Amino acid sequence: MSSRIIPVDPFDYVVFGATGDLSQRKLIPALFHRFIDQQFDTNSRIIGVSRSEMTDEEFQAFAINSVREFVDAALIEDDQLQEFSSCFSYIANDVTDKDGWAELDAALRDDPKVVRAFYLAVAPFLFEPICDYLATRNYWTPDARVVLEKPLGRDLESSIDINDTVAKVFREEQVYRIDHYLGKETVQNLLALRFANTLFEPIWNSAHIDHVQITVAESVGSGGRSYYEQSGALRDMVQNHMLQLLCLVAMEPPASDEANALRDEKLKVLRALKPINGDAVEKLTVRGQYRGVSSDETKVPGYLEELGDGVTSNTETFVAIKAEVENWRWNGVPFYLRTGKRMATRASEIVIQFREIPHSIFSRTEGTPKANRLVIRLQPDEGVKLFLMIKDPGPGGMRLRQVPLNLSFADTFIQRTPEAYERLLMDVVRGNQTLFMRRDELEAAWRWIDPIREAWDNDASKLHGYTAGTWGPTASIALIERDGRTWHEEADDPKSL
């Protein structure tokens, strides 16, 4: 069965920061995929805005080069690529310059049938001048949308300031805060698994689930990026991506799949998270920073080496947290969160570990039943595995063996799996906010994160080193093993998952 492509209305997508890395690596390739799937055509336009001096033709060449570099060559036809690039135009504009907006005024179409979207792929301090000028120049319309890229603050206070700035111009129903993890097919499939089947919901609670693990591991380093030095793993990954995954696992069934019904339930989870502060921070959290590896076979720089000679930093590149959701469904069920750079492999997964059976009818020689486990693989090799106990085939009596029921997206679905930004960019045009964070969600996440961040800032000695290419500091192993559990690390061999 092939996927059904639903065309969107014609649009004017204005991308501020259009010549940046995000635009080149993610936005333009995502738009190209939607174009060749005929979700939009040349009646829609992408208007790039940046400080660099560039002609329309040069920006079109920039888009073509982006597609050739970041899209599978087998999907590119020259005629289609040229047609796609014709949607692009460019305006050189320093957004802090009040006199530099006339060209944008002329470029936007005054047609109520054309959706108007503004993508702010710029630093948050530029949100205010951009939103102010959009309002004063009458670029704002009741149906206009604004897309906000992270980081949306460094803490609760700065997040409130950013949201207040945007709210002066745009109503909440016009604001689309992107978390690209929510656009991943496997993440959306978590909703389908839970709420489109009767199999899981009756056992999706503390009576049957022992614990939950959420891992987002990256094999690459920070590359010495100044952004990462200012954010660290807690702000960069936990506050948004990982808490959103936790919400989708833990939330109650919403009344519908309407955006606010879903986000209401996620907000309840965030508000039910048990606070981690004071002495609990040391007990329930681990932060680490990767160290380099040097041998005859390989040489990998450590985080400090990537920053430069003589630089010191307490920025964490690894975080592990034991979280709890204090409500009836999840009372006593720990949620173990783990994320880091320079880890053993690149893998993002959610593990639902069920409880052991209450009584085994089998003898020791026949084998000990292992608890069932549901593994949802987000990347790479997207898929779902449910581990069950069966009889090992063959004569000689009963022998128990744990095997997986495996749903591999690549094997099951013939068509290419869309990237997250493809779905999210088109959802903005459709006016569908389901996969975007609401303001109260964002601020609830910061309220939970801030006490951890503050405790770390006040005690720099608790930064654990770990060797690049491993699963993080030994303290993170102790965090889960003192509860009699262990991290699920079959992910170091994707074929074994």
Which active-site residues does the annotation give? 241
Instruction: Report phi then psi at 359, rounded to 5.
Output: -155, 135
**Cα gap 335→324, rounded to integer Å:** 6
Element (DSSP H or E) covering residue 429: helix 420-430
| Distance from chain centroid for Cα 71 | 20
Closest CA to 234 of 160, 301, 285: 285
Closest CA to 485 of 306, 294, 356: 356
Residue written as token pair 């997964």: 349
Instruction: Report phi then psi at 267, rounded to 5.
Output: -60, -40
Instruction: Report phi then psi at 30, rounded to 5.
Output: -65, -45
Q: Count of alpha carbons within 13 Å of 239, Cβ hemisphere only?
A: 26
CA distances from 304 to 42, 226, 249 (A): 47, 12, 36
**Cα gap 181→167, rounded to integer Å:** 24
Query: What count of other Cβ atoms lies within 10 Å of the Cβ of residue 438?
Result: 20
Q: What is the CA radius of gyration of the chain?
A: 24
CB-CB contact of 426 with 178 (8 Å)? no
**Cα gap 289→313, rounded to integer Å:** 9
| 375 strand-pairing partners | 351, 385
10 Å CB burial of residue 167 (0-12, 13-18, 19+) is middle
| 398 strand-pairing partners | none
Burial 179-208 (b: 16+ CB within 10 A, else e): bbbbbbbbbbbbbebbeeeeeeeeebebee
251: left (phi over 0), alpha (psi -120 to 50) or beta: beta
CB-CB contact of 49 with 18 (8 Å)? yes
> In the 8-state DSSP scheme, what is residue 368?
P
What separation, in Å, do the N-terminal and C-terminal C-alpha atoms of the chain show? 26
Which residues lie closer than 8 Å to 138 by C-beta, 6 or more apart? none
